[in-house]
Each structure stands twice: as C-alpha cells, then as structure tokens.
Amino acid sequence: MKMTDRRITLLFTCITGLTILILVFIIGFIMVKGLPGLTLSFLLESPKEMGRTGGIFPAIVGTVLLTGMAVVIAAPVGVLTAVYLTEYTRDTWLPKIVRFGTESLAGIPSIIFGLFGFLFFVIYMDLGWSVLSGALTLSAMILPTIVRTSEEAIRAVPDAYREVSFALGSTRWQTVTSVVLPSAKPGIMTGVMLAVGRAIGETAAVIFTAGSSLRLPGTLLDSTRTLPVHFYILAREGISLENAYSTALVLILLILVINITAYAVMNRLANKGR
C-alpha cells in the first residue's frame, strides 16, 4: 500500500519536473540561439533587406507605442468598471450585464479580435492599418484582465477603511478616490502589468490592424510592426533565422521582466496582508 503511494508521488514529481523542464528548455534554447546576435546595434538600428540584416529598432518602437496606448485606453475604462462593480452596485440587472460582457470578452480568441479590429477600426472608422487601430483592438482585448484584477484588488480593501471615510462625512466618490483606489493601487498595477505582458506578445490581433510596415511610424495613423509580428514574418518566411532568434530573445526578456515584476509586487502585497 505504501509502495503505490511512493510510486505515484514519484510519477507526479517527474511530470511536474517535465513541465518545468519544458519552460527552462524554451527559454534556454532562445537564449543560446539569440544571444550571439543581440548587440546594441541590433536594438538601435533599422532593419535592412526586409530584416535579413540590420536591427529591430522600429519594431521596438512599434511595440512600445501600441502596448502603451492600449494600456492608456484600457486602464481607466477597466478600473472605473471595477469601481462600479464593487462600490456602486446593488443587486440589479446592470452589473449582471456588465459582468457577462467582461467574462465573454475574456473568452474570445485573439484572431476574432483581429477580424473585428480590421472591420471596425481599419475599414469602418477609416483609421487604416495604423498604430491607433492596433492599440484600440489590443485595448479591447486586455480590458477583461484589467477589470478582473482591479476588482479583486478593490474587494481586498478592508470595509473598515470605507466606514471610517463615510463616518467622516465623505461621499461615496470621495471615498473611492481618496481611500479605496489608493489602497488598491498596487493590486491594480499588478493587473495592468499582466495585461501589458499579454498585449506585448500578441500577434494575430495586431497583424490585421496595425499592419507590418517596417518603417518608423511618424504619426499614430501610420502602420507599424510589433516584435512578435516581426519575429513571425522572419521565421515563417525564412528571411533570417538568426535575427528571428534574437528578436524572440528581446521579446521574451521584455515579457519576463514585466511578469516577474508584476508577481513580485503581488507577492509583497500578499505577505503584507499576513
């Protein structure tokens, strides 16, 4: 009897080990293959010959612009939605609809967001393949993540804080802005950073809305190419595997730094709570 117990523990340890091994392998593989090509000039130069030589500077700019704008659009909407869901609703039909909307949006695959962004922003609103179209599409995609994490952060603020604020004669909105949101800020930041991590790696939704121009975007209505799109095109069309590896490395490092920071903030919060 004890024997089967030990065997099963061993088996499950091995499976967990395999899962971790896959992670280490993926990151290690990209590191080893991408590190030789990762120089300062690779980061700061424009690509030449469709990316066969030269660097990835425009793709870095495109990624930062697109993701930054998506967050600027989605974060206020998401946080205010979370405030509404936690602080303002009594049990009516409205919050149920809001929750249904965010939950449904969370389950929609990125390619559908890409199709929608193409039809709505690129064609219907006539924004063309542009930074703006891409950013608006991405903001719709990351909205559910921001709502959910902000909601959790706001719910974690002790009720006593609110009661004290009300007792001092504050209105609900004053309580939200001066007590609830400041206490929930680190949690909200974590959620926003996780959303950024997701947005940076997104390909399908971006390629049909921001296009894949290799030039540095001059205005928000110019087409641009993000790092994952650049990587995809380099790898799939076999333009340059070497540059593809280095691009992937930049992308992965960027995402790892953002996610590790986000979880570090979250962990510090959890420890403070104890």
Partner 1 sequence: MHNKETLIQWLLATVALSAIAVLALIIIFIFKEGSPVIARLGLAKFITGTKWSPTRGMFGILPMILGSVWVTLGALLIGVPMGLATAIFLAEMAPPGASRILKFAIQLLAGIPSVVFGFIGLVILVPFIRQWIGGPGFSVLAAAIVLGIMILPTIVSVCYDVFKAVPEAYREGMLALGATRWQTIKMVVLPAAKSGIIAAVILGMGRAIGETMAVIMVAGNATKIPVSPLEPVRTLTSNIALEMGYAIGEHREALFATGIVLFIIIALLNTLARIVARSEKV
36-95: contacts with partner 1 (CB under 8 A): 77, 80-81, 83-85, 88, 94-95
Tokens of 75: 């974060």
Among 35, 52, 164, 173, binds partner 1 (CB under 8 A): 173
Please state whether 50 falls in left (phi above 0), alpha (psi between -120 and 50) or beta.
left
Contact letters for partner 1, residues 113-152 (x by CB under 8 A): xxxx-xxx---x---------------x--xx--x-----
Q: Residue 160 interacts with partner 1 (CB under 8 A)? A: no
Question: Helix 181-200 and helix 131-155: axis angle, to 10°?
Answer: 140
Q: How many CB atoms lie within 10 A of CB 181?
A: 19
Question: Which CB, 58 or 228, lies closer to partner 1?
Answer: 228
Total interface residues for partner 1 by CB under 8 A: 82
Q: Which pairs from 172-179 meet CB under 8 Å and 24+ separation?
A: 172/87, 172/88, 175/87, 176/83, 176/87
Phi and psi at residue 188, to the nearest 5°: -65, -45
- 32 near partner 1, rule: CB under 8 A: no
CB of 159 to partner 1, least distance (A): 19
CB of 83 or CB of 131, closer to partner 1:
83
Shortest distance, position 172 Cβ to partner 1, whole Å: 6
d(CA 83, CA 151): 7
In this chain, which of 20, 32, 35, 156 binds partner 1, going by CB under 8 A? 20
Select the residue interacting with partner 1 from 204, 239, 253, 269 (CB under 8 A): 204
What kind and span of H or E run contains 154? helix 131-155
The answer to whether 261 contacts partner 1 (rule: CB under 8 A) is: no
Tell me: does residue 221 bind partner 1 (CB under 8 A).
Answer: no
CA dist., res. 94 & res. 85, Å (int): 9
- Judged by CB, which is closer to partner 1: 41, or 248? 248
Q: According to CB under 8 A, which one of 30, 142, 188, 195 is a site residue for partner 1?
A: 30
Q: Which of 61, 64, 98, 221 binds partner 1 (CB under 8 A)?
A: 98
Return the closest-CA partner of residue 147 out of 200, 89, 197, 188: 188
